[in-house]
Amino acid sequence: MMKTTIGVVAILAFCFVWHAYATANCTATGPGRYVEPNDNTCKNYTLCVYITANNTYLAYNYVCPTTSLFNPNLARCTSNYTCTTNAG
Ligand SMILES: *[C@@H]1O[C@H](CO)[C@@H](O)[C@H](O)[C@H]1NC(C)=O
Ligand SMILES: *[C@@H]1O[C@H](CO)[C@@H](O)[C@H](O)[C@H]1NC(C)=O
Ligand SMILES: *[C@@H]1O[C@H](CO)[C@@H](O)[C@H](O)[C@H]1NC(C)=O
Ligand SMILES: *[C@@H]1O[C@H](CO)[C@@H](O)[C@H](O)[C@H]1NC(C)=O
């Protein structure tokens, strides 16, 4: 029981260092702006950019400016969006 708990904590810590922010899966979503899976603030989003040269996607983490929230329906930051996520 104790060992299991320590193992899980170690894995979580490793993941955090290895990849600070969870990004949307760009391969699954395609190019565009998408909500980040672990974000419950509605401010963070992932910009997926398709790289033709090597047939892969690059994922960039972005945060909406101060007063705006990421609206997944419009795929952009808006000041009138109400954050309804239950994640986290
Ligand atoms: C991302 O989505 C693709 C296509 O659905 C899938 O093959 C791949 O395993 C996914 N990657 C992750 C990290 O979930
Ligand atoms: C959202 O972005 C901020 C600023 O970069 C960061 O501190 C925070 O950890 C991010 N949240 C998630 C869930 O990735
Ligand atoms: C694909 O190309 C981009 C732009 O040159 C580069 O940043 C990225 O690391 C490459 N990805 C892979 C998997 O080679
Ligand atoms: C919220 O703002 C966006 C962009 O400013 C606009 O396109 C949209 O119609 C607005 N939605 C509502 C419900 O006001």
Size of the chain, expressed as the number of residues it contains = 88
Q: How far is the CA of 1 from the centre of ligand 2 (A)?
A: 31
* Ligand whose nearest atom lies closest to the CA of 19: 2
Residues with CB under 6 A from ligand 3: 51, 53-54, 56, 58
pLDDT value of residue 13: 46
Q: How far is the CA of 81 from the centre of ligand 4 (A)?
A: 8
What residue's CA is closest to ligand 3, atom 13?
A: 56
Per-residue pLDDT of the chain (88 residues; tens, 9 = 90+): 555 555 544 444 444 444 467 899 999 999 999 999 889 999 999 999 999 999 999 999 999 999 999 999 999 999 999 998 654 4
pLDDT value of residue 75: 97
